[in-house]
Amino acid sequence: MSVKFLKSVFSPEDLPSDGLPEIALVGRSNVGKSSLINALAERKELARTSSTPGKTQCLNYYLFDNFYLVDMPGYGYARASKSSRFQWIGLIERYFESRKELRATGILVDARHIGLENDVTLMKWFSEQGHPWFIVLTKIDKVKQQDIAAHEKYLKQEFEGVAAVFKTCSKDGKGVRALLAFIKESVAAPRGATSD
Ligand code: GTP
Ligand code: MG
């Protein structure tokens, strides 16, 4: 698969207008969004990863053959100001409510930290939207197998609208193939086909 970084989008006018379907990835700062994109692309340094959370403040578009993966700005960074937190909500609400090209959204959750307030708020919001969404547990190399199984069960029970829960590790690539297969399927489906 050929993958390339297209551009960073700072305002709605800069969103691509070629109509290609897209999949958005959201999650807390430092959850591993950029690392996951690199793992999906099988490229080491396509998306910039960092140990300084809260770096990505724009939408980063990556072209995967025939669709875009969109790396959304991370939220929940403790040092971010209240106004920047509102800005985050404003930007993503607008994007999720109006972006016609969007086929599904992946919410990334650190497998070590299940049930954090920000994550739960976002997952509840998605549950109410009726727009297709899925969960990607990240950093499963840091968590015991049995805990991961318990987390998965909890998430599926708590958020009935979730299309799937993936368990991934960007370091060794675990779960990444299954996720990519799901993404390709979502992209091929007409918009709204997988929602209620
Ligand atoms: P922001 O862009 O700041 O929102 O962060 P991000 O969500 O893009 O996270 P990023 O991919 O930059 O990863 C943050 C840190 O987590 C880095 O130090 C990564 O090396 C580490 N990390 C990411 N994925 C994994 C994983 O699967 N396992 C382990 N052990 N560490 C990971
Ligand atoms: Mg990032």
pLDDT digits (tens, 9 = 90+) for 109-132: 999 999 888 899 889 989 998 889
Question: Which carries the bigger pLDDT value, residue 174 or residue 79?
Answer: 174
Question: Which carries the bigger pLDDT value, residue 129 or residue 194?
Answer: 129
Structural domain contains residue 41: yes
Domain harbouring 109, CATH code: 3.40.50.300
Tell me the ligand closest to 35's alpha carbon. Answer: 1
Ligand 1 center to 31 CA (angstroms): 6
Q: Which residue among 8, 30, 137, 169 has the greatest number of ligand 1 atoms within 8 angstroms of its CB, and so is best to mutate?
A: 30
Structural domain contains residue 196: no
Residue 80 has pLDDT above 80, yes or no: no
Structural domain contains residue 193: no
Give the chain as a DSSP string.
Answer: --EEEEEEE-SGGGS--S---EEEEEEBTTSSHHHHHHHHHT-SSSS---SSTT---SEEEEEETTEEEEEPPPB--TTS-HHHHHHHHHHHHHHHHH-TTEEEEEEEEETTSTT-HHHHHHHHHHHHH---EEEEEE-GGGS-HHHHHHHHHHHHHH-TT---EEE--TTT-TTHHHHHHHHHHHHHSPTTTT--
Tell me the ligand closest to 112's alpha carbon. Answer: 1
pTM of the model: 0.91
Domain total for the chain?
1
- Summarised one tens digit per residue, pLDDT across range 15-40 is 999 999 999 999 998 999 989 999 99
Ligand 1 center to 108 CA (angstroms): 11
Structural domain contains residue 95: yes
Residue 84 has pLDDT above 70, yes or no: no
Residue 99 has pLDDT above 90, yes or no: yes
Domain that holds residue 34: 3-188
Q: Of 49, 28, 47, which is closest to residue 108 (Cα–Cα)?
A: 28
Structural domain contains residue 67: yes
Q: In what order do the strands lie in the sheet with 3-9?
A: 3-9, 59-64, 67-71, 22-27, 102-110, 133-138, 165-167
pLDDT at 195: 46
**pLDDT tier, 56 (very low <50, low <70, confident <90, very high otherwise):** low
Ligand 1 center to 57 CA (angstroms): 16
pLDDT at 47: 77
Q: What ligand 1 atom has the least distance to the C-alpha of 54?
A: 3
